[in-house]
Structure 1
Amino acid sequence: MEGISDISHLPPAPDRWLAQLYADTRDVMFKDWAVISKVFPRPIDVMQQLLKRVFEQTIQSYLETLLGRAERQSNLAFLRVLSSSHIETRKLIEDLQRFDAETVTPAVTVLESARRSGNVPQGLLDMPSSAQTSSAQFSRSRAKKAISRRGRDAEQSAIDDDDDLDDEAAARDRLGEAKSGVSSAVAIAALIGRSEGDNAGVGLLHGFLNRCCDDLFESYVAGSNYMRAEQAHLKEAFRQTLAPFARSRAERHNSSRGNALLGIFTSVTGGANTATSGNGAGSAGNASAAGGQPAEFEGTVTATTARMLLQVHAEAIARGVELENDGLVAECVSSLTSILLSTLGDEYMFPALEDVLESLQDLRQEPDLRTFGVIRVANIAVRLVQMHFQRAIVPFVGASSYVYRDMVAEKNQFMSRVEMSLNLISNKLVGACTQWILGILGKQRKGDFRPADDDYTAFEMGTQPCRQCADYLHRIERACRQSMGAENQERVLTDVGNTLYRMLMEHLRKFVVSVAGGLVLVKDVSKYREAIGSFGIPALNEKFSILQDISNIFVVQPAALKSLLDEGPLARLDRATVQGFVQMREDGRTSGLARQFL
């Protein structure tokens, strides 16, 4: 019983004493048949009574004790012991049925046939020598009939007296094997004229043995006894699995709103690196665990929790398939799957994703890039559900049944709601990130592009807002690479890049740029271009190449400006846009330079 009540442990092996009891039962039945078949004129009746006594007294008594002890420990322990005991009992029944089909039934058939012909009245193993000739005649007759059925009339007519003597000796040998209870089904079939396809695998005790097994477990699975126990366990196991998430979420909602939003990412599970709470520069480092794998946080969706829920459900499905009648398996699987989807959605993923979406509402705070990891894990959870559905559920539900259709509809509705939530989070996160970048650009000072001639830091490193934006863009890119597939990466990064391009086109027309400031601006645009280049999207590279050409407007001499605007890539831009940049040159207004390009 050690560990049997722990849902994180795999189900234990069947009780070793039960397995030993069944091994002893096999040995006793196999050995007793040799004696019974020698002593009693109707050995099949004696064998049936012996089996009934063993099942009703010895086996049933031990099973009741075993299951009672398990039930006192926990509901899960009871269900696991019930299932493993049923599996072990079915193995015993199948072994006994095989012995019956291969040994008991063929031997009894020989005896009954001989009795009907009046050749063997004393019993199967008590045939006197005076009956040997009659037995040989019986055997030869059965052999001839078998040959005739196979269309071998010519061969039958060729049997001579010597062959008859050989037939008699062979028949006695085969009958002796039947008497000992160890002959093969093939030998007996040849003796009694029974082909292997004529229900060769079903013996006289087949149905009786099935009833013995059913009677052992009837009180535990009859009606809805088993399903009530399984459903109660499943709900409790799910509640236990989601307890850390529920506790973390309750603590957040009981605290102040700001702390509640930050608390989503404060607790790490699954052995990942410890993450720090709060936002800021540390968020990038917390986006991944050792080995480049994103960390998991118990305050939101985790692959570990999703896998545990599916593991618990798969074990329940296996028990249902084992214990329920064949006609009720589909309804059993459907009922247990409805509990899974309801719990996974309404009590776990939907509330968690709603919390993440709420955490992105306050645009005054830097968006936590670990939100990309939540999107990744939620996608993993959806894929796991789909795999689980195909492998652990569909095989036990008829593909054309109404149960299957209802289950597919319920599963698709769950997946559709998750996908819709993830799309909302993704769009909101992109908007929050670009809004944060806009806030950084808003810290650009008017004198940043009119530096002193000895301000070498600005010439070499660019302005501080630019450096902060470039760093944030690199962090966005890394978070996307770690958390999204190629298609979603391109979509998110393209949205960020296009928004940044539009913002910079507006941003750079707000500042007067001196000759020295032009060099600083060129440096800034180079950093933006480098950061966007790491996205690996050609369309964005082309746009920021144009932005680099625009920055050259502020560093060329007035005489070369016309050539730059009329012959290069800038010639494709709207003339009003170009004029707006020219006007921001420090000498643009005093020399009337901008009017030259109207």
Structure 2
Amino acid sequence: MTKTGINIGPTIENYGGETFLSQEVTISILQESKNAFKRCHVLCTHSDLAGNAEKILCVLIQYLVLEHIDYAVELGLQAIPLPDPKSQPEIYFFDVVGQANTLFHLFEKQFQDSLIPLVLSSPKHSLCLQKRRQLREQLEGKIDTGLDRAVAAVAGWVRNILSAEQKKTDFKPEDDSVLGQMNTPACAKVVKFISSIAQTIHSYLDGKNVEVVLTDLGTRLHRVIFDHLQQFQYNSLGAMLVICDVNEYRRSIKDFKIPLVLELFEKLHALCNLLVVVPDNLKQVCSGEQLVGLDKSVLMGFIQLRYDFRTAKLANVLK
């Protein structure tokens, strides 16, 4: 940090999206170390070979893994927005993770191809494997922490949008003129943001990381929207509007391609149908395929949001 003139203070700085990672620098370092491993193999005596190869590895670890990759991940961690952001968060950590994983895989490939043959039959073999394992676990730990913070910031901003943009009157309209808009402005803003984040995750992450992050994000978004919808009371037109909103959330979540998350939003959509079903059919709908197995308190929690909950005497509908 002193070399680059960067001052890490209490305020969050994202450095304009700079990841501080370079594939060109990494390839250059790896080429130098590859040549060093070759010279080691040619010039060293058998007794000195493994020891010198390990020394080359230590130099490679120090300057490539610690001072380049790990350093960038640390900066990326500090640049992640807070879990309750006051403005739309710019999350560059997904890019940091994508690049860091790529560069670390290049390091591991050279470890396997150039180092292992030189130390295979010596006590240094297990020592080198231990060093690689520790480096991987250290990097994975920081990445896991960062991804968790990034997802928390996304969920926090969605909560902020819904809190600021959704009006109490959105779901208690006085005439059917609102039905032409299909979705409330708050929903449209959330869906646009979620779609952009999902696209970013697909662009920068790969393999298991994509599935894990989208599962975590999807379940958190479901909780945020679930809790949000329970703050309102719905008349018959409002119930149709919220069903349209949840259908739009469900449509955007389909792009995640995570069955568990999609199932959560399917059940939320089914719960919202309880707001519009005629009272005589409520008990039948509650025992239908989509809602079977849900706790009665969850079902009643939605039924209580109906404008006719008291007048239609729905308190005993599930008894």
Q: What's the TM-score, normalizing by structure 1? A: 0.49
Alpha-carbon distance change, 539 to 408 in structure 1, aligned in 2, over 3 angstroms: closer
User: How far did 1:525 drift?
Assistant: 0.5
Q: Determine which of 250, 253, 273 is the counterpart of 2:5.
A: 250
**CA contact under 8 A between 1:430 and 1:495: conserved in structure 2?**
yes
| Equivalences for residues 86-101 of structure 1 within 5 A | none
Q: CA deviation at 1:386?
A: 1.1
Equivalent residue of 1:594, what SS?
coil
1:529 counterpart letter in structure 2: R
Please tell me whether the aligned partners of residues 14 and 79 of structure 2 are also in contact (alpha carbons under 8 angstroms).
yes
- For residues 359 and 455 of structure 1, the distance between their equivalents in structure 2, rounded to whole angstroms, comes to 45
Counterpart of 1:347 in structure 2 is: 67
Which of the residues 195, 203, 206 maps onto 1:482?
A: 203
Cα distance in 2 between the residues matched to 1:345 and 1:493: 27
- Looking at structure 2, the residues matched to 337 and 246 of structure 1 have their Cα atoms a distance apart, in angstroms, of 26
**Partner residue of 1:308 out of 21, 28, 31:** 28
CA distance in 2, matches of 1:312, 1:257: 38
**Corresponding pairs, count:** 316
Measured after TM superposition, the shift of residue 388 of structure 1 is 0.4
| Alpha-carbon distance, 1:359 to partner | 2.0
- Cα shift at 1:389: 1.0
| Aligned counterparts of 1:459 and 1:510: Cα–Cα separation in 2 | 24
Contact preservation (8 Å) 1:264, 1:300: no
Of 246, 268, 281, the match for 1:560: 281
Conserved 8 A contact 1:302-1:378: no
Of 225, 232, 241, which residue of structure 2 is paired with 1:511? 232
Structure 1 counterpart of 2:108, which letter?
Q
Equivalent AA in structure 1 for residue 311 of structure 2? T
Residue 596 of structure 1, CA deviation: 3.4
Q: Which residue of 2 aligns with 1:262?
A: 14
How big is the shift at 1:455? 4.1
Identity in percent:
26
| Preserved CA contact (<8 Å) 1:477 1:535 | yes
State whether structure 2 residue 131 is matched by structure 1 residue 379. Answer: no
Q: Offset of 1:426 from its aligned partner?
A: 1.9
The alignment's C-alpha RMSD in Å is: 2.6
Tell me the equivalent position of 1:460.
181
Residue identity opposite 2:255 in structure 1: S
Change (3 A) 1:264 1:412: farther
3-state DSSP class of the match of 1:510?
A: coil
Structure 1 residues 334-413: aligned runs within 5 Å: 334-360=54-80, 362-363=82-83, 364=85, 365-395=87-117, 397-413=118-134
One-letter identity of the residue aligned with 2:244: K
Matched with 1:229 is none
Task: Give yes or no for contact 2:151–2:217 (8 Å, CA) kept in 1.
Answer: yes
Instruction: Name the CA distance, whole Å, in 2 between partners of 1:356 and 1:526.
Output: 35
Q: C-alpha deviations, 1:502-532, integer Å up to 9, x for none?
A: 2333221110112111121011000111111
> C-alpha separation between the residues in 2 aligned to 1:570 and 1:318?
65
Deviation at 1:425, TM superposition (A): 1.5
Residues 370 and 479, structure 1, Cα contact 8 Å, conserved in 2: no
Q: What is the aligned counterpart of 2:163 among 427, 431, 442?
A: 442
Amino acid at match of 1:380: T
Distance change (3 Å), C-alpha of 1:507 and 1:402:
same
For residues 558 and 594 of structure 1, what CA distance do their matches in structure 2 show? 11
Give the superposition deviation at 1:435.
2.1
Q: 1:307 to 1:587 in 2, by over 3 A?
A: same
1:434·1:500 contact (CA, 8 Å) conserved in 2? yes
User: Is the CA contact (8 Å cut-off) linking 2:155 and 2:224 kept in structure 1?
Assistant: no
After superposition, give the CA deviation of every residue in 1:398-455 in whole Å (9 maximum; x if it has no partner).
Answer: 4121233333322322222112211221222222222222222222221111224254
Is the contact between residue 314 and residue 392 of structure 1 (CA under 8 Å) also seen in structure 2? yes
Deviations 1:214-265 (A, max 9, x none): xxxxxxxxxxxxxxxxxxxxxxxxxxxxxxx975x533x17x654x622051
Please list every run of 5 or more consecutive structure 2 residues that lacks an aligned counterpart in the other structure.
none
Q: 1:590 aligns with which of 276, 293, 311?
A: 311
Alpha-carbon distance in structure 2 between the residues aligned to 1:440 and 1:504:
11
Change (3 A) 1:408 1:562: closer
Equivalent pair of 2:303/2:309 in contact (CA under 8 Å):
yes
d(CA) in 2 for partners of 1:569, 1:473:
25
Q: Report if aligned partners of 2:69, 2:104 keep a CA contact under 8 Å in 1.
A: no
Structure 2 distance, partners of 1:308, 1:246, is 23
* Structure 2 Cα separation of the partners of residues 357 and 514 of structure 1: 45
SS at match of 1:339: helix
Q: In structure 2, do the counterparts of structure 1 residues 597 and 412 end up closer, same or farther at CA, with 3 Å as the change threshold?
A: closer
CA deviations on 1:337-357 (whole Å, 9 max, x unpaired) are 211102223322222212222
* Paired AA for residue 305 in structure 1: V
Which protein shows a greater Rg? 1
CA distance in 1, matches of 2:132, 2:119: 16
- Bigger helix share: 1
Q: Within 5 A, what are the aligned runs for 1:33-432? A: 249-251=4-6, 253=7, 257-258=10-11, 261-263=13-15, 265=17, 297=18, 299-324=19-44, 327-360=47-80, 362-363=82-83, 364=85, 365-395=87-117, 397-432=118-153
So what's the TM-score if we normalise by structure 2? 0.87
Output one character per residue of 1:450-473: Cα deviation in whole Å (capped at 9) or x when no partner: 2242544x6434112212222222
State how far apart, in whole Å, the 1-side matches of 2:270 and 2:124 are: 64
CA contact (8 A) 1:357 1:425 kept: yes
Amino acid at match of 2:14: L
Match of 1:525 in 2: 246
- For the residue of structure 2 that corresponds to 1:527, the secondary structure is helix
In structure 2, distance between residues paired with 1:351 and 1:430: 22
| Equivalent residue letter for 1:393 | L
